[in-house]
Structure 1
Amino acid sequence: MTDAPSELLRLASADNFRDVAGTGAGHPTRDGRRVRRGVFYRSNELQLTHEDARSLAALGIRVIHDLRSAPEVEAHPDVEVAGATWRHVEVSGIPMAMVDGLPDTAAAERVMREVYVAFVRSPEARASYATLLTDLATEEPPHLFHCTAGKDRTGWAAALLLEIAGVDRDTILADYLLTNEVSSATREKYLALVAEHLGPDKVAVYEPTMVVEPAYLEAAYDAVGADYGSVEAYLREGLGLGDDTLDELRARLVG
């Protein structure tokens, strides 16, 4: 592990890159401790400049976990980061068939809630999240995990890590919503493409798919509650994680 910078490292070419632990001393836990920084990082896709790739290498990142689909990876392969091993752990994101021709914002918001429910209920998604968390517990840190926008698939993974660390739900939600603040430039770029190709009137329709909202994360938590009763039961029964994996994650996460 390397000493993490005390504040948020900003990358020009990956604006949703950040430490899962937050900034400063790290997110507080319910038992009065802090989440340890410099262990787990999250990001959007790694279309990195040479300078940003060097910045990630300087953090000592050992493993990069790519949660994107095979077509996403093929279209925009990650830039190599010196010293890091790349690993593909696919989680289905927003299905293009579901967003093609969205009629209104309500439909877009409904699609996003369904995506988050699928993170919990899809057997394939559960298997991938189990693989990711197991790797995070067993492979030498620091680790980085990411998807395309770094907000949904990555956001649920980060929320689970903070749950395991013992961070309260309000702090987890605030950390999740930070995506809207730090990745505004990327969002505006894609909304400009919507306006160009689909028309300016479609910008408001598609904007819900390019942000994070409390209702999206809550949809995943609601599915967890309905199917398993608690996040702990979801981790154990839904993802099949044992005491050794969860204990090791907590040991890595909490200082």
Structure 2
Amino acid sequence: MFNLAGYGPQIFAGTITTVELSVLSLLLSFVIGLIGASAKLSKARAARVAATVYTTIIRGVPDLVLMLLIFYSLQIWINDITDWLNSLQNSFDFGFDLDPFTSGVITLGFIYGAYFTETFRGAFLAVPKGQLEAARAFGMKPFHVFRRVLFPQMMRYALPGLGNNWQVILKATALVSIIGLSDVVKAAQNAGQATFRTFFFICVAGAVYLVLTIISNGVLLYLERKYMIGVRKAVL
């Protein structure tokens, strides 16, 4: 049933690659989002300006353009730097290749870090300031205030936006097929071209994304229930 004309293993491997790419991109964008939101809410004007420029530019440039810029341009810059370092010392031989998977993670994480920044910024502002002041009055250090008071409460406000961003990241992984990464879309394209059943295998790829989305919705529902513990629901 799942042999798929002999291309089942390739599509399964592509699905695993897609999941790995999505999860790593999510983690990177999560970290960038926290840093960016903190910068936007910082008292330092330079940090606020830098974060604003970042979110404005990234959200204004298409994902595909950024993907190509990072994959091709960054590799050229890295080669130029390593060549310069090698020229300083003949015995020094160092090289670094930016593979498609790494490029995909960096690009997606960098792009959606801008969206996560805005999501976290709104969530930070939604947490009552009085609770943060009370935590500081108890003598908590900034890290403990963040971990015990700010983060748990802001997550309940951020989860809807995070869930939406995760779904977009998951579907955006299809873009990495243009730079040679063997994700589920690339595997489906290869299978379709080899068997002359392109429409069928593209439908298979779509079904894979749909299944991943359904599973993701279940995980997000669990997280929503976890972070809503102790919060009374509104009576309609």
After TM superposition, the score normalised by the length of structure 1 is 0.27
User: Which structure ranks higher in relative contact order (CA pairs < 8 Å, sequence separation ≥ 6)?
Assistant: 2
Greater gyration radius: 2
Greater strand content = 1
Greater helix content = 2
